[in-house]
């Protein structure tokens, strides 16, 4: 587990992107030399900064032809809804429709969409047993300790063999489709991009054994094969 602390959110984004591109350039890195790079992006507002920095400063350095883009999670709403996981980066980079694999949150039958997306991911990615292996899973963390759309109290989603599952926001009752725990922890690189002092308490406790089963983000952080944290939160104690 590695922690990268920056002075601000944009610099944290730069650190993440520099590290990602360095991994991709290595012959033994993501996808191997010249191979496909399978990346899963999270929703929420924080990644907008990461995407802006990517477009403005790293777009020409990124081998987009190798990328395949997937969703970590999605709200069960219309694609035009403000809550939809719109990855605005995709509007500004040269990816074809064949390189983008979106969760269709607008589908009326959410259970069927879970099955469709899970089956598609299983058919596209290399497998570790029955678990699809992404090169990069880019995650955020909520102030309540959730990650993907796996919230406290939904720990069963951390241990299921299904790659994706339905979850429910504990306050709003909104249904979501979420990447499950085994997929997050078995990725070749499980990276968290977390900004804002309102998340400082969660970040400080990520490695505490007593919160492993209380915060889904702590479980993923402690269980992942290769976890890294990129943040503008000044981490005082070791994480």
Instruction: Quick: pLDDT tens for 130-159.
Output: 999 999 999 999 999 999 999 999 999 999
Q: Decide if 120 contacts 112 (C-beta within 8 A).
A: no
Least confident of 3-17, 22-36, 167-181: 22-36
User: At residue 60, does pLDDT exceed 90?
Assistant: yes
Q: Which residue has the higher pLDDT, 121 or 201?
A: 121
Non-local CB neighbours of 80 within 8 Å, separated by 6+ positions: none
Distance between CA atoms of residues 121 and 126, nearest Å: 9
Q: What's the whole-number mean pLDDT along residues 43-59? A: 87
Q: What's the whole-number mean pLDDT along residues 6-18? A: 96
Q: Decide if 5 contacts 14 (C-beta within 8 A).
A: no
CA atoms within 13 A on the CB side of 152: 13
Residue 90's pLDDT is: 85
Mean pLDDT of the chain: 90
Query: How far is the CA of 76 from the CAs of 109, 138, 141, 161, in angstroms?
Result: 9, 20, 20, 22
Query: What is the pTM for the complete model shown?
Result: 0.92
């Amino acid at each position: 587990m590695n922690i990268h602390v920056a002075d601000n959110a944009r610099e944290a984004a730069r650190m993440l992107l520099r590290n990602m591109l360095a991994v991709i350039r290595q012959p033994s890195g993501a996808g191997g030399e010249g191979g496909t790079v399978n990346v899963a992006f999270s929703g929420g507002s924080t990644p907008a900064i990461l995407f802006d920095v990517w477009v403005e400063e790293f777009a020409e350095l990124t081998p987009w032809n190798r990328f395949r883009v997937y969703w970590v999670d999605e709200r069960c709403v219309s694609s035009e809804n403000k809550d939809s996981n719109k990855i605005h980066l995709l509007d500004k980079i040269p990816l074809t429709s064949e390189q983008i694999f979106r969760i269709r949150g607008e589908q009326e039958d959410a259970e069927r969409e879970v099955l469709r997306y899970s089956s598609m991911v299983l058919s596209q990615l290399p497998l570790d047993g029955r678990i699809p292996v992404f090169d990069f899973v880019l995650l955020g963390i909520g102030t309540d300790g959730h990650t993907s759309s796996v919230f406290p109290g939904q720990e069963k989603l951390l241990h299921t063999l299904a790659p994706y599952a339905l979850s429910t926001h504990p306050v709003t009752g909104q249904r979501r489709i979420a990447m499950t725990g085994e997929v997050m922890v078995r990725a070749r690189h499980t990276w968290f991009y977390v900004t804002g002092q309102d998340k400082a308490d969660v970040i400080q406790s990520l490695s505490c054994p007593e919160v492993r089963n209380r915060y889904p983000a702590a479980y993923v952080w402690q269980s992942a094969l290769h976890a890294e944290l990129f943040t503008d939160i000044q981490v005082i104690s070791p994480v």
